Structure 1
Amino acid sequence: MNDYNKEYNAKLTTPEKAVKVIKSGDWVDYGCLHAYPALLDRALADRKEELEDVKVRSLLMHGPLHIVEEDPNQEHFTYNSWHMVKFERNLCDRGLCYFIPMLFRNLPGYYRRFLDVDVAMMAVTPMDEEGYFNFSVNNATARAVLDTAKVIILEINDKLPRLFGKENKVHISEVDAIVEGEHPDLFEIPSASGSEIDELIANQIVSQMEDGACVQLGVGGMPDLIGKKIAESDLKNLGVHSELIVNANLDMYKAGKITNSNKTGEMKGKTVGGLVYGTKELVEWTAENPDVMICPMDYVNDVNIIRSLDKFTSINSCVGVDLFGQISSESAGTRHISGTGGQLDFLTGAYDNPTGKSFICMPSSRVDRKGVRHSNVHATFHGDIITDPRSQSYQLVTEYGMVNLAGRSTWERAEMLISVAHPDFREELIQSAEEMKIWRRSNKLK
């Protein structure tokens, strides 16, 4: 039996020495979410005066990010995100974070086919007896990043639990350097609270679900509320197949709704996801749980796999829709909010699935800080990033109803979308539709 401790000790170093390998002009990838290499980030930021034009990629960063916050003029580092959360969104508002468009199912392939990674740095679990480090709750694209990287530096975080899954580990023989140090407890992502409007939308969606459905939930108040509604419902024998395992999935499990019994093959009986995104209780539930598989995104979000799951049901949110059926879920105008993530992957897979369903939901309007109400159904977008093209728009839900846009003409879409818009804006939207020549004279709202 190999004694991997000798090799481990030979590669063990300090964060300060480890980051010496990074040169000006390099592309550096950080592990995402809980794989953020805090000690290495601190050490790299301390080297800023020695470096210029170092480009860093990651996603789902909850902060702090020292290389950004201590280089506000971007003289040394440039940070880029595949998918933004609040911390990164605030950086973006200050011009300190740049978005990289992607589809989650394609992201591992981007690395393996098109991108350079000079140095990869990520937090992992302590090494096991066979010389492997586990990616824990942060599988997603980790294996693809390391496969591409010229240099691999691992940061050991003993707060990270081991999880089961596919392509979820890296061997000591592949690693160039290892660092250790103290880490705080993993930060928690609490459930978001839904509004009365969210509840009206959630009730419509849950009423359309069937026993045995395999569920994908996005993040935010709406999906969390839908998960709670599912937990309180009479639905049974549900499965989970989702890029993110979220708090709502635990609510469903604790209510006895999740069995994954309708899945086949290696996924039978398994909750499948790419990342675990939630509370300490959620992380503890997934830790070394043989009924949970954390897999890379080119597996979880593979359209061919999604279309094979019986009664697959995808539930996500958006920011706005226009009368042509284009859906924006990642920006407000040109202000970036999040990212495409896997929404289009699951929308496509659910549509291609003969027993599948997909719901995109949103409140019909929003009220700004000045108390002014704005419609989330727009005549046309003005700079908003299109997440789901009109050619793939499907079932859209607001508090005023549910419409299925698949196969519908421009005038039918206009009529349907205006029917679920806030009443205060319907006449204005009809006028815009007439001007754009997508409103029939005989159209009547019911």
Structure 2
Amino acid sequence: MSFQQEYRQKLVSPREAVKLVKSGDRIQFNSYNGVPPALDRALAARRDELEGVIVSSSVTMYPLYTISSDPEGKHFIYNNWHASGYDRKLAPQGNYYYVPALYYEFPRILARNSLDVVMLQVGEMDDKGNMNFGPSAAHARILVEAGRKVIVEVNRNMPVAYGGSDESVHISEIDLVVEGDHDPLFTLPVLKANKIDRKIADLLMNEIEDGACIQLGIGAMPNTVGELIADSDLQDLGVHTEMLADAHVKMYQSGRISGKNKGRDKGKMVYGFAMGSQELYRFIHRNPACATYSIKHINTPHIIAMNPKVIAINSAIEVDLYSQINSESSGFRHISGTGGQVDFMLGSYMSEGGKGFICMSSTFTDKEGKLSSRILPTLSPGSIVTVPRTIAQYIVTEYGIANVKGKSTWERAEELIKIAHPRFQDELVKSAAEMNIWRRSNKL
């Protein structure tokens, strides 16, 4: 049987495909632009026929029809590995449950918890029988291997992302194929940097050397760093990043990236997933300068550390005087997730000459117009410790950079209060003294 014959034999309607799902099943959609919208809609239409179906995904680019159709969770229970803006709005409804995990552990977790049905959006089949995961390969291959049944939804608009080993699925590994509406891929809005973002980015530029290997997180500030790098005279930078963004395109097109000093995947911009503009998706399409890998390659700390001078740049919500970092919740309100932040903090520190930076504005203004410090004596009640103090390295605000690695508790408090907003420094000193982590010899 030819690959085309096998494809036609497995091709069914979305409505027919989701009949594989039974009550009590564990269902996993791929994440990012890998969520299959036609299958999602078809499964939502079966709501009243099913009970106790656990649906899992992460960083969804639109509100899942399956979950939106059942806000009380009577039929579908939503487990999420990392919240997008759409996902976090579900939490108050009571049908959203976060799965805490380090991203690099994801393959092992799934291997120990097999899935009944896996559903993914893929590109068109090539003449070798392969269907590419496009910009959403991060854990797609892992899902295929963990699923008892695998259904793919074909979208001809999916770019072909070259990779190292985990960028596609073969028709022989698939149980059913559906062809969706071939919608354009979802894009991320461009977040404009403010003055504080630019100030932090300026501080970080002083920490980046020629030959550094760059990881940028999501947000306006990391994007600003990429733009500054593009306009700089830095040379021979490399890229090993969980998320490939538009900033990386600018860095590459300006000639800043060669990857020649990387210890692994020399000459390649390697990434787990890509999210951004249509220009970004066009950039990765059949581009041999890029290589997408499974997260077990991208986020495993010792693999990250094979590259010298890893510079990891990520953001946080708040930090306390013990240097415990919260990057995923606002009190009891869930915002995002752990993701790969800890993975890259570990990997950057293990890298020869590497550094891991956690960045945030020194203050924020709440809904009532009250100015509050992001540097606190202790984390807000209900807040999650994303990066423990034992792993924290460099913490950055618009007032400077605090290196807390290897420092005592009183030294950490001193460094952190130095980069707090001046309005809150006296109050923080008083709190530090009450916590017995402030010495009379401390200086600001």
TM-score with structure 2 setting the length: 0.98
Pair 1:132 & 2:130 matched: yes
Residue 254 of structure 1: aligned partner: 253
Q: Distance in 2 between matches of 1:269 and 1:393?
A: 30
Q: Distance in 1 between matches of 2:430 and 2:308?
A: 43
Residue-by-residue CA offset, 1:234-274 (whole Å, 9 max, x unaligned): 21111111000011111111211111121245x11100000
- Residue identity matched to 2:182: H
Q: Distance in 1 between matches of 2:191 and 2:140?
A: 27
Residue 415 to residue 28, structure 1, CA distance change in 2 (3 Å): same
Residue 374 of structure 1: aligned partner: 372
Pair 1:120 & 2:114 matched: no
TM-score with structure 1 setting the length: 0.97
Residue 288 of structure 2: aligned partner: 290
Residue 108 of structure 1: aligned partner: 107
Pair 1:160 & 2:158 matched: yes
Pair 1:149 & 2:163 matched: no
> Does the 8 Å CA contact 1:191/1:224 hold for their aligned counterparts?
no
Q: Distance in 2 between matches of 1:242 and 1:95?
A: 33
Residue 279 of structure 2: aligned partner: 281
Q: How does 1:211-230 map to 2 (within 5 A)?
A: 211-230=210-229
Q: Distance in 2 between matches of 1:172 and 1:187?
A: 25
Residue 302 of structure 2: aligned partner: 304
- Note the C-alpha offset of 1:298: 0.8
Residue 331 of structure 2: aligned partner: 333
- Note the C-alpha offset of 1:313: 0.7
Q: Distance in 2 between matches of 1:413 and 1:66?
A: 47
Q: Which stretches of structure 1, 4 residues or longer, exceed 6 Å deviation after superposition?
A: none
- Residue identity matched to 2:283: W
User: Counterpart of 1:244 in 2: which secondary structure?
Assistant: strand
> Does the 8 Å CA contact 1:62/1:87 hold for their aligned counterparts?
yes
Pair 1:403 & 2:399 matched: no
Residue 437 of structure 1: aligned partner: 436
Residue-by-residue CA offset, 1:267-287 (whole Å, 9 max, x unaligned): 111000000111000010001
> Does the 8 Å CA contact 2:100/2:338 hold for their aligned counterparts?
yes
Residue-by-residue CA offset, 1:359-405 (whole Å, 9 max, x unaligned): 11111110112221010001001221111000111111111111100
Residue 31 of structure 1: aligned partner: 30
> Does the 8 Å CA contact 2:321/2:375 hold for their aligned counterparts?
yes
Q: How does 1:80-91 map to 2 (within 5 A)?
A: 80-91=79-90
Residue-by-residue CA offset, 1:26-45 (whole Å, 9 max, x unaligned): 00000111111111111111
Q: Distance in 2 between matches of 1:419 and 1:150?
A: 54
User: Counterpart of 1:128 in 2: which secondary structure?
Assistant: coil
Q: Distance in 2 between matches of 1:416 and 1:425?
A: 14
Residue-by-residue CA offset, 1:273-318 (whole Å, 9 max, x unaligned): 0001110000100011011000000101111111110211111111
> Does the 8 Å CA contact 2:71/2:93 hold for their aligned counterparts?
no
Q: How does 1:223-238 map to 2 (within 5 A)?
A: 223-238=222-237
Unaligned runs of 5+ in 2: none
Pair 1:48 & 2:44 matched: no
User: Counterpart of 1:391 in 2: which secondary structure?
Assistant: coil
User: Counterpart of 2:209 in 1: which secondary structure?
Assistant: coil
Residue-by-residue CA offset, 1:315-340 (whole Å, 9 max, x unaligned): 11111100001001111112111111
- Which has the higher mean CA deviation after the structures are superposed, 240-249 or 230-239? 230-239
Q: Distance in 2 between matches of 1:54 and 1:206?
A: 48
> Does the 8 Å CA contact 2:154/2:182 hold for their aligned counterparts?
no
Residue 350 of structure 1: aligned partner: 348
Q: How does 1:3-82 map to 2 (within 5 A)?
A: 3-82=2-81
- Residue identity matched to 1:443: N
- Note the C-alpha offset of 1:91: 1.5
Q: Distance in 1 between matches of 2:152 and 2:441?
A: 65
- Residue identity matched to 2:86: F
Q: Distance in 1 between matches of 2:97 and 2:247?
A: 30
- Residue identity matched to 1:99: Y
> Does the 8 Å CA contact 1:62/1:88 hold for their aligned counterparts?
no
- Note the C-alpha offset of 1:191: 2.8
Q: Distance in 2 between matches of 1:301 and 1:72?
A: 34
Unaligned runs of 5+ in 1: none
- Residue identity matched to 2:153: E
Pair 1:200 & 2:199 matched: yes
- Residue identity matched to 1:245: L
- Residue identity matched to 1:407: G
- Residue identity matched to 2:275: Y
Pair 1:185 & 2:184 matched: yes
Q: Distance in 1 between matches of 2:216 and 2:422?
A: 29
User: Counterpart of 2:177 in 1: which secondary structure?
Assistant: strand
User: Counterpart of 1:13 in 2: which secondary structure?
Assistant: coil
- Note the C-alpha offset of 1:444: 2.6
User: Counterpart of 2:390 in 1: which secondary structure?
Assistant: helix
- Which has the higher mean CA deviation after the structures are superposed, 62-71 or 371-380? 62-71
- Residue identity matched to 1:345: D
Q: Distance in 1 between matches of 2:267 and 2:351?
A: 20
Residue 241 of structure 1: aligned partner: 240
> Does the 8 Å CA contact 1:109/1:144 hold for their aligned counterparts?
no
> Does the 8 Å CA contact 1:32/1:138 hold for their aligned counterparts?
yes
- Note the C-alpha offset of 1:93: 3.5
> Does the 8 Å CA contact 2:263/2:308 hold for their aligned counterparts?
no
Equivalent residue pairs, number: 442
> Does the 8 Å CA contact 1:238/1:259 hold for their aligned counterparts?
yes
